[in-house]
Amino acid sequence: MDDLKLYTYIAVFGSFALYFAIAWWARAGSTSDFYVAGGGVTPMQNGMAIGADWMSAASFISMAGLIAFLGYGGSVFLMGWTGGYVLLAMLLAPYMRKHGKFTVPEFISDRYYSKTARIVAVVCLIIASLTYIIGQMKGVGVAFSRFLEVDYGLGLGIGMLVVWVYAVLGGMKGITYTQIAQYCVLIFAYTVPAIFISLQLTGNPIPQLGLGSTLADGSGTYLLDKLDLVVTDLGFKEYTTDNMGSSLNMFAYTLSLMIGTAGLPHVIMRFFTVPSVKAARSSAGYALVFIALLYTVAPAVGAMARLNLIDTLQPEPGQHLEYEQRPQWFKDWEKTGLLEFEDKNSDGKIQYVADETTNEMVKVDRDIMVLANPAIANLPNWVIALVAAGGLAAALSTAAGLLLAISSSVSHDLMKGVLTPNLSEKNELLAGRIVMTLAILVSGYLGLNPPGFAAGTVALAFGLAASSIFPALMMGIFVKKMSGTAAVSGMIAGIGVTMLYVFQHKGIMFIPGTSFLGPLEENWFLGISPNAFGAVGAIVNFTVAFVVCQFTGPAPKEIQDLVDNFRIPSGAGAAHEH
């Protein structure tokens, strides 16, 4: 066995053993443990768990890959995801924590005094969460197939088994403590290679500063200037100014990711695991710090990975690498099918250019960039192994959180809340575990047949959450007269319009050519792409809800009092009376 494989086995299986041990130690004994970890997690622990839950395979594996290929346009992911976190921390989490229920559909059911609202919220939650989990499963499959040198499908199967063991056994309690360990693994695995590569390229050990520094070769050229020059030489768009469509599309994309973040149920659930409203606010602050550690490094990782990739394939301007002399990392990724070369002009050299007719790198999956980056930069084997463990930690931690959100929405909201109100706690716990097992099997199937690359699929999930759940929560907290019928109408209209637009572009169940609106021009609505359409869906949701509310009348007096109760800080009423 070579050194790299040995280090990888140690890093990956060592971290798995740690997760299993934690899950066994923190296994759930009650529904309170299973859904909200008994409500006894400290703000700092919760902040780390939120960080791991939040930094999915899309953040760890895909985001820097997107930034590597999209340049400036990829910044929408950074701005949207981080900005959404601020929205969630300031506008939603504290009020929902004060209301004190387990799940998002339960909050919506109480606020909108309607079982119909609860059912609609469950359906929206499952659609958004399943779409999101596909991205995690793709990340698990990519990491396993490359680093354990197994088939993508087998790698996915191993990942499903690992998640099943600790998520089903431990519930929220096991997941929380496992995610704290996963955060430590993933942040270490992300920053160590970035420090090495930043030192190599710029002489600066801090990647965030290295991105804006001059190169270490003494030329005085700034790293980003060199990258602009290199990519434009090959016919690609300039790295630092390349937009994703129009400015309106960039704005809609960022907004969709922001409000989608604030409406993601598996992240909101985390705020129910702390003992008080004050602790919920504190854990949001800690989470932002922990998330920023990775998010501020991602642009440097993306830019440096792109520069290293091009330098490897084109050692000098106008010169191309001989295919027979391709480095080991190239051969390794070719085995996975995520990197493909076709010698179109039979000269034995690798032409990597923007022109599709002459570009011989016929496939460079964006999701490989972070995982391949340390090998491209010739870093030590233990660093490469560390990145494998980090990528898996990121994918598994988010998959576990999403599975818990799906499981609780079915067992707690649908079964206990609507269909079988007399369900005992023991049977509810069993139902939760069975639903989670089924959700793992469904997500595994979707991971084997994924629509698009990981972050693209994830962006879609955010659009679905943005157009359905976020407006319902915002109006529930800040518009006390909003009626149940109006909110349900808004949710159905918002997610309906968004899914219509997505299916028109990507096809039903993402099968091309199966759209039901006939042949329409791509991005026909103001040039907005399907992944950015959640923002439009949210506007439709708000508009329909307010219009219907005018006809159905305001919410009952006791519901308006309920809203006042979780809006006004405890003790404020007494002070107001004196």
Place of tokens 């190599």: 200
The CA distance from 272 to 191, in Å, is 30
Flag whether 360 is in a domain: no
Selection from 62-66, 268-272, 417-421 with the highest mean pLDDT: 62-66
Residues 112, 487: contact at Cβ < 8 Å? yes
Residue 1 pLDDT > 60: no
Share of the chain above pLDDT 70, in %: 88
Helix count (H) and strand count (E) of the chain? 26, 2
Helix, strand or coil for residue 101?
Answer: coil
Flag whether 345 is in a domain: no
pLDDT for the residue 459:
64
Length of the chain in residues, anyone?
578
pLDDT for the residue 545:
95
Side chain identity at residue 76, one-letter code: V
Side chain identity at residue 38, one-letter code: G
Flag whether 56 is in a domain: yes
**What does the pLDDT look like over 169-209, one tens digit per residue?**
666 677 778 888 888 888 888 899 999 999 999 989 999 99
pLDDT for the residue 508:
47
**What does the pLDDT look like over 550-576, one tens digit per residue?**
998 888 888 888 888 877 755 444 444
Flag whether 469 is in a domain: no
**What does the pLDDT look like over 464-478, one tens digit per residue?**
888 988 999 999 999
Flag whether 115 is in a domain: yes
pTM tops 0.85, yes or no: no
Flag whether 425 is in a domain: no
Task: Share the mean pLDDT of the chain.
Answer: 81
Residues 554, 483: contact at Cβ < 8 Å? yes
Tally the domains of the chain.
Answer: 1
How far is C-alpha 239 from the chain's CA centre? 24
**What does the pLDDT look like over 212-244, one tens digit per residue?**
898 888 888 899 898 888 888 888 888 877 777
In eight-state DSSP terms, residue 363 is E
pLDDT for the residue 517:
52
Domain containing 197 equals 3-29+36-305+380-418
Selection from 74-78, 99-103, 221-225, 391-395 with the highest mean pLDDT: 221-225
Flag whether 260 is in a domain: yes
**What does the pLDDT look like over 274-300, one tens digit per residue?**
777 788 888 888 888 888 888 889 899
CA atoms within 13 A on the CB side of 209: 6
Closest of 108, 49, 168 to residue 563, by C-alpha? 108
pLDDT for the residue 132:
77
Of 483 and 365, more confident: 483
Flag whether 73 is in a domain: yes
pLDDT band at residue 350 under the 50/70/90 scheme: confident
